[in-house]
Amino acid sequence: MKTTIYFLLFILLINKSFSQDYIPTIKTGRIWEVFYPHGLGNSSIDKYQIRCDTTINNTTYKKVSYLNNVYIGAVREDIDNKKVYFFRKDATQERLVADYSLAVGELFYDGLIAKDLDSIKVQYIHGANRRVFYFDPLTILIEGEGSNFSGIINNRNYVSINNLTDNVYTCDISSTKSEEPKPSINIFPNPTTYSDFIYINGLPINKEVNYQIYSLTGQMLKEGLTKNLCIEIKDISEQSVMLKLIEGNSSIYNKILLINR
């Protein structure tokens, strides 16, 4: 009889571990620490935080900013459906960045990856037992944190979450305002079709931003400041490179550029 009781208790404990309460991701004051490799052996730790409410297209979000107050975008969480959406500051629509309602075998697409869910495990991470969604050994969603790469901001420049902490952040009327979506940034021509210059569409004509051009292996090929929304590329010999535009401490564009000679 005792053996039967112990066995039933064991089964209950297992079921409880897999049916644990949902852990929300979005909380005012929460800080993500993310690892950013710059290439050539250089790296840094960036920190971003959930701030106060804002409104975009009549929908309520929470602002996301680096600790130096550079605005990254806005985020909202649909707790009933266990989904998290991110609205990047230079985007025109939100993007799904986390879906904790997935079952094994279902497809997840966040605009950067499209993969079937392989397995779900419960692991102790950053002070809590969290459900961990494995798409492959390198692509993971962590309940209450977001992707293992960058958390909730959908930025593949980052490669891992170093830490997650909850902090007090006080909101008042002056810190809550509406944010309107900004135009998307486009580079043309791309492919360059024998052009020695590329041009930026989507920023004010007098806007100057830093740019970096990398090889696909991560080697820095060129960097500088745009002039009249133009970048000279005639000295780039590679056919495929990564172009990154930076405003303040925030990357506002990071895509492959095809160079035809």
CATH class of the region 183-258 = mainly beta
pLDDT interval class at 178 (50, 70, 90) = low
Domain ranges of the chain: 2-94+144-175, 183-258
pLDDT score at 191 = 86
pLDDT score at 5 = 54
Mean predicted lDDT score pLDDT of the chain = 84
How far is the C-alpha of 169 from the C-alpha of 148, rounded, in Å? 24
In the 8-state DSSP scheme, what is residue 35? Answer: E
How far is the C-alpha of 187 from the C-alpha of 11, rounded, in Å? 57
Residue type, 238: E
Q: Which residues of 114-148 are buried (b: 16+ CB within 10 A; e: fewer)?
A: eeebeebeeeebeeeebbbbbbeeebbbbbbbbbb
Flag the least confident range among 67-71, 115-119, 201-205, 235-239.
201-205
pLDDT at 82 exceeding the cut of 90: yes
pLDDT interval class at 18 (50, 70, 90) = very low
Residue 80, Cβ density class (10 Å: 0-12 exposed, 13-18 middle, ≥19 buried): exposed
Q: What is the pLDDT of residues 201-233, one digit of tens each?
A: 877 767 788 999 998 888 899 999 998 889 999
pLDDT score at 186 = 82
